[in-house]
Amino acid sequence: MSVGRTGAYDKHYRWYGSGVTSDTEIDPDETTADTEPTGSAPEDLDLGGVVARSRAGSSFSLDDHDPRDTFGWDKEAAKARVLSEIAVVAELQKLLFAERKQALLVVLQAMDAAGKDGVLRTVLTGLNPAGVHVTSFGVPSEEELAHDFLWRVHRQTPAKGQIGVFNRSHYEDVLVVRVKGLAPAKVWKKRYDHIAAFERTLVDDGTAVVKLYLNVSNEKQRERLQDRVDSPDERWKFRRGDLEDRKLWPDYMAAYTEAIRRTDADHAPWYVVPADRKWVRNLVVARILRHELEQLDPKFPPPEPGIAGTIVE
């Protein structure tokens, strides 16, 4: 897996480091196991309508999405099922990688402490690292600010055969930029259309785009930020700026709502993932990734003619 960070260099930022273990949610060795679901769980193919019920849609309202939703799952069943979902995702990734004709871009957006890093650790475990490209988008550098807002983004989109994951993304340019007034309204207001056109370009060229909003509640964010302050293992993740963003919560919710409404499209859907419970969040993300890869339906390329039956000496 290649990981990159774009934006001004931040010496306090660590990416993965030498094993961020305190809240690793699953044992990486388990993820390739052929685990069957256990315990009580809805039986239908879509895990109780997870994909359909998480779709945002252009009339989306946060009121319709409960951050504590479980979709009828209990914790033990979900934890087992996420492993088998990841195993399916890994099989599909193998085909995508071999085929090299299509790509998948996964955009992760959320408030602080909603679990973007947790999703990366959990759901991407077990994938072939050679086929995954993760980019974290931080505060733009001087060079990045000297270009149009999509410049730094476009160069990180996945190549054919790859799964690209954006930890934050071009959406920050209509979220933090809007909420903190980092650009005039007449600038950021045009960006919804620019974003829609950009994503259309990617899709038309063979890159599927899926956008995930990890929906954490205000109260759960408070709890998790407090845990970060209180726990020596997690304190490194905490920044004072997180509190400023927290104070602006209603403005962020309004900005997310408009961004999601205006850029949801069948070819580049938004999903709202309940994020107050890590085990629900992981299950839903894994299921959506599986769904998106199944839509792409990648296939092994045909071998060179006459290979079958060749004896290797």
> Which helix (H) or strand (E) covers residue 109, if one does?
strand 103-110
Q: Given the complex with ligand AMP, which of 57 and 138 has the nearer CB atom?
A: 138
Instruction: Report the partner that residue 138 touches, choosing among Mg ion, ligand AMP, none (CB closer than 5 to 8 A by kind).
Output: ligand AMP
The nearest distance, CB 208 to ligand AMP, in angstroms, is 23
- Cα–Cα distance, 195 to 75 (Å, whole number): 37
* Beta pairing class for 270-274 and 132-137: unpaired
* Residue 18 token pair: 């030498």
Question: How remote is the C-alpha of 239 from its chain's centroid?
Answer: 22
The nearest distance, CB 34 to ligand AMP, in angstroms, is 35
CA dihedral 8, 259, 131, 141 (to 10 degrees): -10
Say whether residue 182 binds ligand AMP (CB under 6 A): yes
Q: Given the complex with ligand AMP, which of 129 and 181 has the nearer CB atom?
A: 181
Q: In a 3-state reduction of DSSP, which class is residue 17?
A: coil
Could you tell me where the DSSP H helices lie in 107-190? 116-123, 142-145, 151-154, 176-179, 185-188
Instruction: Report the partner that residue 177 touches, choosing among ligand AMP, Mg ion, none (CB closer than 5 to 8 A by kind).
Output: ligand AMP
Q: In a 3-state reduction of DSSP, which class is residue 202?
A: helix
Say whether residue 172 binds Mg ion (CB under 5 A): no
Cβ atoms 218, 279 nearer than 8 A? no
DSSP state, residue 23: T
- Cα–Cα distance, 171 to 109 (Å, whole number): 8
The residue within the footprint of Mg ion, chosen from 69, 85, 112, 264 (CB under 5 A), is 112
Q: Given the complex with ligand AMP, which of 168 and 277 has the nearer CB atom?
A: 168
Letters for 239-278 (x = contact with Mg ion by CB under 5 A, - = none) are ----------------------------------------
Instruction: Report the partner that residue 72 touches, choosing among ligand AMP, Mg ion, none (CB closer than 5 to 8 A by kind).
Output: none
Say whether residue 173 binds ligand AMP (CB under 6 A): yes
* Sites for ligand AMP among residues 81-120 (CB under 6 A): 112
> CB nearest ligand AMP: which residue?
172
Q: Give the interface with ligand AMP as residue ranges (CB under 6 A).
A: 112, 137-140, 168, 172-173, 176-177, 182, 241
